[in-house]
Every structure is written in C-alpha cells, then in structure tokens.
Structure 1
Amino acid sequence: MTIATNAVLRISTDRDELDVELIHRFLADEAYWSRGIPRATVEQAIAGSLCFGGYVDGRQVAFARVVTDGATFGYLADVFVLPEHRGRGYAKALMAAVMGHPQLQGLRRFSLATSDAHTLYAGFGFTAPSRPQNLMEKLDPDIYTRQPGRP
C-alpha cells in the first residue's frame, strides 16, 4: 500500500516491493548499529515488523521498520536513506509516513535508539525518556561481528 508521496519519493508498506538485498547490504556494511548482521536476521526482522520503503523512480532509497503490537507500543528501527539521496527531505517524509500510519496511532509508548539523528526525531515528538531509571535493556552490541559459536 502506497501511503505517501513526496514530489519524488514514494513510500509504501508493501513488503513485496522491498529490496531486501539493498536493505541487508546497507545494514551489514554501512549502518553503525548493525554491522555484520546476517541476511537471515534482516529477513526475520522484516517479517516481524511494519516496514516502510522509500522509492525514487522505482528504486528503493530509504527504509524504516516498526516493531509493534499495534495497540500499546512501537519501536522504530533501521531507519536510513542511502547516502547519495540524503539532503532532499526524504528522512522527514519517511518519518511523517511512519508517524501517520493508522496502525501506529494511540500508542502509549513509541521508542527508538539513535546516536546521530536526535534533531530529526525531535521534530516528530521524540524526547529523552522522562524516567530513564524505569528503563532497562539487555544489549549485545557485538552479536553480529563475533565469530559464530563464540559467546
């Protein structure tokens, strides 16, 4: 389903349109948060998420996904615009489509993690946690780059 069009960027939630090879290549080789991620893991993440692809002239140039129960929470992940397509407002258009999606309305908590895009997300109402002492995580940042079979 096409959910938005920004002059040149068309945004769709149709998983069949996703260029999984491109998504995997970007996440495995370029994204600081998922270096070395296996393709099978990317495929599994896509299968369990509400995905948004951004397309210019029929080619995918942007991606985002939301893990959600559609009622109480959402977690925004793997947001990117290919480097050669940055600076054109595509990230804002992609985020507007994500935030406007009907399945993501009325969520009690919508969260994300970022090291470099605070300004983008702040423009859509994201802030630092109001009670960080209530949040916990179990993080394994090297999971994709460790040799298989090693803890």
Structure 2
Amino acid sequence: MQHAAVAGYEISTDAERLDIDVIHRFLAEESYWARGVPRSTVEKAVENSICFGVYTDTAQIGLARVVTDKATFALLADVFILKEHRGKGLSKWLMQCVIEHDHLQGLRRLLLLTSDAHSLYGQFGFGPLGAPARFMEVLRADIYQSQ
C-alpha cells in the first residue's frame, strides 16, 4: 500500500539532515518517555539507529527512530511530530515509511512502547504482546533525572 506524501513535507533517512537540537529539545522537554534525557544520550541513540526525519522546507518537525539488527528484530522509538504540525496525517505517513523501509522487511519481531497512541500503531499491525510473561526488562525509569 502506497501512502501519499503530505504536501509541503518530506520524510528522509539521511542522517546528515537530522537536527539534534530539535530532537533533543522535544525528547527532553516535551516527551513523557524521555524527559530530561541528556543531549549526549540522544546523539548516541540517533547515531546507532535508523532515523526517519520529517521536514518542512529545511526544518525538522518530526522523527521516528528504529533500533534494529536489520534481520530479525527492531524496536520503534522516539516517534513524534511537533505540536504545530499535528493533525495533517504526518504520523500515519511516517509510520507507513517506517513499515515499508527495505531494512525492516522480513523481521520476526517489531516492538514499541506507547502510553497514548495505540490507535495509530494498531493501524500498522501492532497489538498487545502475544506472550507478555516471556518478556523481561531492566527498567531504570528515573535514569535521566539522576544524570
């Protein structure tokens, strides 16, 4: 299924175009999942992920970051569209680009965590864990507040 581009916007995986200031500001100040994250952590995360930047002209206004081995597993993280650009279908277009990306085909498992966007991700095949008892985690929920 092809998803039409949104007029005036572009999505790119070109790492050179990413605006770390925009990404860090959103994650550290506006997100519920990474509040207080240090810039150095954002830089390292971006460097070691496939990042989908959303742009209008030359300004970055959104992101989806995928951590993956490109063969069996991926974790979708840090998905956002800046508030003033929401309501235009950009999140759906961004998710379509992620799902259709060449490096993310044939994976056995694609995971994400969300507190408030279940209906968006459900449109792309995401659902509750099939066997949650099999998953374990080390969670350091306050790690950014202690740095």
TM-score by length of 1: 0.93
Partner of 2:77: 77
Aligned-residue offset at 1:6: 2.5
Kindly tell me the number of residue pairs found equivalent between the two proteins.
144
Q: CA deviation at 1:56?
A: 1.1
Q: 1:6 aligns to what SS in structure 2?
A: coil
Secondary structure of 1:51's counterpart equals strand
CA–CA separation in structure 2 for the residues paired with 1:16 and 1:5: 21
Which residue of structure 2 aligns with residue 106 of structure 1? 106
1:53 Cα deviation from its structure 2 partner: 0.1
Counterparts of 1:106 and 1:7 in 2: how far apart (Å)? 30
Q: Which residue number in structure 2 is paired with residue 17 of structure 1? A: 17
* Alignment correspondent of 2:116: 116
Distance in 1 of aligned mates of 2:21 and 2:140: 24
Residues 6, 88 of structure 2: 8 Å contact kept:
no
Superposed CA offset, 1:66-89 (max 9, x none) = 000000000000000001111110
Letter in 2 for 1:138: V
CA RMSD of aligned residues (A): 1.0
* Structure 2 spans left out of the alignment, 5+ residues: none
The structural deviation recorded for 1:58 is 1.9
Aligned partners of 1:134 and 1:43: how far apart in 2?
31
Determine the C-alpha separation between the residues in 2 that align with 1:47 and 1:66: 11
Q: One-letter code of the match for 1:124?
A: F
Tell me the SS of whatever aligns to 2:51: strand
Letter of the structure 2 residue corresponding to residue 136 of structure 1: M
Residue of structure 2 in register with 1:94 after alignment:
94
3-state SS in 1 of match to 2:70: coil
Shift of 1:9: 1.8
Deviation, structure 1 residue 52 = 0.3
Unaligned residue ranges in structure 1 (runs of 5+): none
Alpha-carbon separation, structure 1, partners of 2:98 and 2:30: 22
Alignment TM-score, normalising by the size of structure 2: 0.95
